[in-house]
């Protein structure tokens, strides 16, 4: 399938979900749908760097929360439309990705990972001391009652997130099948050999780090409106980092399908566990599933499916 056709398919999916949404009267569906779309976006963004190039980013929460907090700040100053907040969030997180990448991507991947882990801690310290966006006591936001095209605002947020998620998946698929994607695969398999064959490894790594960071910032920008109250411990929750790593790895990290499958599956499991058991047990399930999958099925569900198909 060409990229254009795939993009049109994504567009058709959005329209279909929008039409289906006309029939929905229960607000909860949009709340849950937003969570799924947000995780598809985050997992796909993580996978650009983690799955394709093999560089593990532990700082999802930092990029995501940065998008959310920049959005709070800009909204407080100018109250621009949501799309502007999303673009500003993308810009801010992309810039942080560029700086981080420039400083650490020349070394082995482990050092980049450790730096991202530390980034999450430092970003939280910065936001906790940033009184303008509420500091440690958090920020309250008034969520508009209605979306710009009728319907509730949560419904509107869901469609915005859906468009971004579908866009990210289409982008990921384009990258995967382009020269960039092959270059990234070379980095993942053997960076030194790739370098020797003329793959511009540093430039490619920087490019996807910026893209991945920007997408995470975009995912965070609508968050303040979704939750209506944002404080540092919840915005920087470790669960974001664990989920965005677990989802691609469980689904299968080397293709665009993996993060989507992982995100849908894990969000569904967590929504159920949240209702039926407790929120702590819920995190335990994610942790255990992740460790089990990477130990026993390193290529995730997609890898298992491929294994079954090749044996049949």
Partner 1 sequence: MVDPLAVLNAVVAGVLLGGFYAAVALGIAIAFGMLDIPNLAHPAFVVVGAFATWLLNSHFGIDPVLAGFLMAPLFFLLGLALYRLYHICFERRGEASLQGLAFFFGVLFITEVGLVLSAGADYRSVSAPYIGASLSFAGMVLPGRMLVPFVVSIAMIGLLHRFLARSFTGRAILAVSQDQTALRLMGVSPIRIKTLAFGLANATASIAGALLIIVEPVEPSIGRDFIGRAFAVVVLGGMGSFYGMLLASLILGITESLVSDMWNPSWAPAIAFGFLLPTLAFRSGGLLGRKL
The residue among 200 and 287 lying less far from partner 1, judged by its C-beta, is 287
Segment near partner 1 (CB under 8 A); pick from 78-86, 125-133, 149-157, 165-173: 125-133
How far apart are CB 5 and partner 1 at their closest, in Å?
Answer: 31
Residue with tokens 């695969």, as numbered in its chain: 185
**What SS3 state is found at 237?**
coil
Among 104, 201, 209, 270, binds partner 1 (CB under 8 A): 104
Among 40, 66, 88, 115, binds partner 1 (CB under 8 A): 115
Half-sphere exposure of 142 (CA within 13 A, CB side): 5
Task: Output the six-digit token pair for 192.
Answer: 């030194």
| DSSP H stretches of helix in 23-81 | 27-53, 60-78
CB proximity list for 247: less than 8 A, separation 6 or greater:
39, 42, 43, 46, 259, 262, 263, 265, 266
How far apart are CB 269 and partner 1 at their closest, in Å?
Answer: 15
How far apart are CB 108 and partner 1 at their closest, in Å?
Answer: 7
Give the C-alpha separation, 189 to 86, whole Å.
34
The residue among 163 and 297 lying less far from partner 1, judged by its C-beta, is 297
Q: Compute CA distances 178 → 93, 175, 184, 264, whole Å.
A: 24, 5, 10, 26
How far apart are CB 77 and partner 1 at their closest, in Å?
Answer: 24
| DSSP H stretches of helix in the chain | 3-22, 27-53, 60-78, 82-104, 109-128, 153-176, 179-196, 201-220, 223-227, 232-235, 238-251, 257-276, 279-296, 300-311
How far apart are CB 128 and partner 1 at their closest, in Å?
Answer: 6
Size of the site for partner 1 (CB under 8 A): 48
Residue with tokens 């799309």, as numbered in its chain: 83
Q: Is 211 in the site for partner 1 (CB under 8 A)?
A: no
Which residues from 218-277 bind partner 1, rule CB under 8 A? 238, 241-242, 245-246, 249, 253
How far apart are CB 201 and partner 1 at their closest, in Å?
Answer: 15
Give the C-alpha separation, 4 to 9, whole Å.
9
C-alpha dihedral (128, 130, 136, 140), degrees to nearest 10: -130
Among 142, 280, 308, 312, binds partner 1 (CB under 8 A): 280
The residue among 75 and 244 lying less far from partner 1, judged by its C-beta, is 244
Taking residues 177 to 196 in sequence order and writing x for each that binds partner 1 by CB under 8 A, - otherwise, the string is: -----------x--------
The residue among 226 and 240 lying less far from partner 1, judged by its C-beta, is 240
For partner 1, the binding residues (CB under 8 A) are: 50, 54-56, 58, 100, 103-104, 107-111, 113-115, 117-119, 121-122, 124-126, 128-129, 136, 188, 238, 241-242, 245-246, 249, 253, 280-281, 283-284, 286-288, 290-291, 294-296, 298
């Amino acid at each position: 399938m060409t990229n254009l056709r795939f993009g049109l398919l994504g567009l058709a999916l959005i329209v279909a979900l929008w039409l289906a949404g006309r029939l929905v009267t229960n607000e909860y569906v949009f709340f849950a749908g937003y969570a799924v779309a947000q995780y598809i976006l985050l997992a796909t963004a993580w996978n650009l760097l983690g799955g394709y190039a093999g560089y593990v980013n532990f700082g999802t929460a930092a990029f995501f929360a940065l998008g959310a907090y920049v959005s709070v700040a800009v909204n407080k100053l100018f109250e621009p439309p949501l799309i502007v907040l999303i673009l500003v969030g993308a810009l801010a997180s992309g810039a942080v990705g560029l700086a981080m990448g420039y400083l650490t991507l020349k070394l082995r991947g482990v050092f980049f990972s450790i730096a991202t882990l530390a980034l999450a801690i430092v970003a939280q310290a910065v936001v906790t001391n940033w009184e303008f966006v509420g500091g440690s006591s958090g920020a309250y936001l008034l969520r508009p009652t209605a979306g710009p095209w009728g319907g509730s605002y949560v419904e509107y947020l869901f469609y915005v997130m859906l468009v971004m998620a579908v866009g990210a998946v289409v982008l990921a698929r384009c990258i995967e099948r382009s020269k960039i994607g092959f270059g990234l695969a070379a980095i993942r398999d053997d960076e030194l050999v790739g370098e020797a064959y003329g793959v511009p490894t540093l430039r490619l790594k920087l490019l996807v780090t910026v893209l991945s960071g920007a997408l995470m910032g975009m995912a965070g920008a609508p968050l303040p409106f979704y939750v209506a109250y944002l404080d540092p411990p919840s915005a920087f929750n470790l669960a974001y980092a664990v989920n965005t790593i677990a989802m691609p790895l469980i689904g299968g990290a080397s293709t665009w399908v993996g993060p989507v499958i992982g995100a849908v599956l894990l969000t569904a499991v967590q929504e159920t566990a949240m209702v039926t058991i407790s929120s702590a047990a819920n995190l335990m399930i994610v942790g255990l599933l992740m460790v089990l999958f990477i130990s026993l099925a390193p290529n995730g569900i997609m890898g298992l499916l491929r294994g079954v198909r090749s044996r049949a």
